[in-house]
Chains A and B, each alone.
Chain A
Amino acid sequence: MHILAFLIRRAVQAVIVMFVISLIGFSIQDNLGDPLRELVGQSVSEAERQELRDQLGLNDPFLTQYIRFLGNAVQGDLGTSYFFKRPALDVIMDKFPATFELVIGAVVIFLSLSIPAGIYCAIHRNSWITRIIMTGSIIGISVPVFLTAIFMVWLFGVELGWLPAFGRGDTVTLPWGWDTGFLTLDGLKHLILPSVTLSSIMLPLFIRLIRAEMMETMGTDYVRFARAKGLRTARVRYVHAFRNTLLPVVTVGGLMIGTLIAYTILTETVFQWPGMGFLFLEAVNRTDTPLIIAYIIVVGLIFVVVNTIVDFVYTLINPMVKLPGAKS
């Protein structure tokens, strides 16, 4: 029952956030560009224009127009892209797999590196390897992701010519319409540089976070008690201490989804990766309003879903947290 109450509460919050985002999306549509000009061009007379405006409902009061916008949005209709002449949501969803696979690649890389590095730095605080990793992490934080990207393209793509630097390469279409680059050698090769770049900006942040949290848990009473009981050092470290380090890592990781999406725009721009971020920037340059709005709403939805899941997982795995609204 408690979990149900929590879920309902979170769902209400998520709906409120999405409502605000839709309001922003609608006010952009209302104020940016003239949909009539996109439809009929310049050659139509003023009287015909007025008639068309009435037909399309562009003269209706704000609230009526907003409710219509919301009704359409809920049914997946976010308008038609001016440039592609196709439903904006379809255009975005075509690009979603590319961005998703880029993010998955980056997450796999930075988690598999930052967890061992963070644990090592917390246990061997004064070793020279720790000092190198910590110095490296502050340099890593100070290098903007688009410079890393340019450097990667220049070194591995142009000078050495080891790896392809632009685009996604060969993809395979899965039965449910998802284009994947994971299943071809060429697709995987194309994935390497962009995902390494994207992970390079998250890696230092996670190493520092895991190290700090691990150092804190290593000093707590239950870890000392486990050690005093005579448990093996490895067990104390990796089972008792590290497990509790994961909690804050999950939370912060969830909170970073917004940052990660912003970095995908930068990474995709340099590598000409055909994902949502690259599409969004093109839409901005072409003032393709329906596409801009569709991107904002899709990104808002991803953000809300991920945050709700992270909150839920956090409450499930943390024995110390009671679900809000639950009575003891």
Chain B
Amino acid sequence: MAVAVAQRIRLSYSKYWYAYAMIAPVVIVLGVLVGYPLVRGIYLTLTNATSLNVGRQIGVNHIPDSFDFIGLDNYADVLWGPTAYDRFWSHFIWTVAWTAICVVLHYGIGLGLALLLNRKMRGRGLYRLVLILPWAVPTFVTVFSWRLMLADGGAVNGLLSFLHLPEPAWLSDPLAQKAAAILVNTWVGVPFMMISLLGGLQSIPQELYEAAEMDGASPWQRFRHVTLPGLRTVSSTVVLLGVIWTFNQFAVIFLLFGSGAPDAQILVTWAYRLGFGQQPSDYAQSATYGILLLSILIVFTTFYRRWLARNEKANG
């Protein structure tokens, strides 16, 4: 007994040291490659840096930085400056709508398929394999394939014309572009939700369903009062991740439209375009968008987690 106590004391003494040793690699990598860029990014937002006035190396000559510190002017300009609506708010509204629609579709379709896959049925393993497949295709490849399918005369419009439905110009009409982006992103994002929720369903104890059935609960009531509460923890995590990832979904929109389609650009791709897709590149404005984006997500996450905590308390 005394030995055990002594050992415990010794272990707790060394505990922090081990913990810090184990997290050190991640802290260092993130500190250098994410922390420092963040600080520098914030600094850039307070300047008027563009690709014309930042320091650069031309041959053997080093040209030093020549941009100025301008305080919060970039933020003021992005949020309230002339044409702020076209430059920021319209993209902001579209980004929020895009995130909401995509996450609802991901979650809804993912949950539906997970419920089907959770039943005992023939060929379940095969269905599961095929349905996760979209996740394993590199985004680069996915988007290219969809571009071929969505092109005028491509497979999607072929199907629509076969069904005698209108055939929108997916890649050039502004509204259809948005629909196309949502369609592609839904295809990309459903497998992750489906698999996470399927696992969540499998972890709900069968006894709960048996008890509910004994009490005469209808299928809908069982879903509402057993399945959904049982999925609460999984759902809250995957929805949060889904919102973050969709909000920052760079690859799908960037690869689908390149530098065209100004209306369908969400904030991330728009920020990238300001920083890299034009001459001269406006690093300061691009970074300002980036920081605004990050702030929006942090505020959202803070409220979301507070809301979850309150819900948890309310539900005991």
A, B in one complex: no
**B interface vs A, CB < 8 Å?**
none
